[in-house]
Amino acid sequence: MAKILILGGTVEARQLADMLAGDERFELIFSLAGRTSNPLVPKCEVRSGGFGGADGLADFLEDKGVDILVDATHSFADRITQNAATASAATGTPCLRLERKAWVREAGDDWAFVASVEEAAQHLPKGARALVTVGRQEIEPFFDRLDIKIIARMIEPPEKKPLAPHKVLRNRPPYELQDERMLMRIEHISHLVSKNSGSEATAAKLQAARELQIPVIMIARPDAPRLPTAHTAQAMARLIEETI
């Protein structure tokens, strides 16, 4: 039986765990950072909280006798991905990467690429009314700008309530095209700010921006270590079979 540690925090990570959980060839440990209240978890052993850096993760891999490490964390969670690669090299545990494909620009898109949330916040022109979809931990640089209006959409509320004219809309994906269109029209959105997560559940905002000719400020993915990669849970299940 192969012991697999799945580093989660994405829909795909949970899909993979659900897919492998009933398979008697595998014993799973599913790991979460512990940031979300009431996360959806698969039917397998689940642990929560950091490991204590790459060294802590390497110790965990050895203590538990993990055979394969699957990094299925979000493309913008670059610290844990780097730690996974380092711990894998230190212990000789194969590390596989499950990561959605990035979105690509299509005809009719007006995208500006930036490297960070700070750069995205600075890129917005004075007077902009921006729909910002980066999440509560990265919203501060946008709220610091008082010469623009930020409509920040997020799952959990930010730690600090924003000052007027900004506002927070709490919602959870998936989002439908008709709702995205309506939101952008009602709020008179002039710019959309997004990370390039590549998620199907949140892609409708890009179609709505395309239709309404709203410029998009797209935050590019951080550099990541090169690892054997699959883009879907199904493809990762095949990659695991080839690796054991």
Catalog residues that contact ligand NAP under the rule CB under 6 A. 7-10, 31-33, 35, 50-53, 56-57, 73-74, 76-80, 83, 135, 195
Q: Are 56 and 50 in contact (CB under 8 A)?
A: yes
- What are residue 235's DSSP bridge partners? none
Residue 96 CB, nearest approach to ligand NAP (Å): 14
Residue 66 Cβ, how far from ligand NAP at the closest point, in Å? 13
Which CB, 9 or 215, lies closer to ligand NAP? 9
74 or 149: CB nearest ligand NAP: 74
Q: Please tell me the distance from the alpha carbon of residue 113 to that of residue 20, in angstroms, as a whole number.
A: 37
Q: How many CB atoms lie within 10 A of CB 2?
A: 16
Nearer to ligand NAP, 7 or 121 (CB): 7
Output 59 or 109, the one with its CB closest to ligand NAP. Answer: 59
Cα dist. 138→75, 78, 115 in Å?
15, 14, 13
Nearer to ligand NAP, 66 or 149 (CB): 66
Q: Minimum Å distance from CB 55 to ligand NAP?
A: 9
Nearer to ligand NAP, 10 or 93 (CB): 10
Kindly state the smallest distance separating residue 217's Cβ from ligand NAP, in Å.
16
- Shortest spacing between CB 12 and ligand NAP, in angstroms: 10
How far is it, in rounded angstroms, from Cα 126 to Cα 147?
6
Strand, helix or coil for residue 92: coil
Query: Kind and range of the H or E element at 88?
Result: helix 78-91
Helix axes 53-64, 78-91, angle to 10 degrees: 50
Closest to 201 in 3D by CA, of 231, 220, 180, 182: 180
Report the candidate in 1, 3, 9 with the shortest Cα–Cα distance to residue 61: 3
Q: How far is the CB of 54 from ligand NAP (least distance, A)?
A: 7
Question: How far apart, in whole angstroms, are the C-alpha atoms of residue 239 and residue 219?
Answer: 29
- Identify any residues that bridge with 69 across adjacent strands, giving them in sequence order: 5, 95
State which residue, 190 or 232, has the beta carbon closest to ligand NAP: 232
Nearest distance in Å: CB 188, ligand NAP = 27
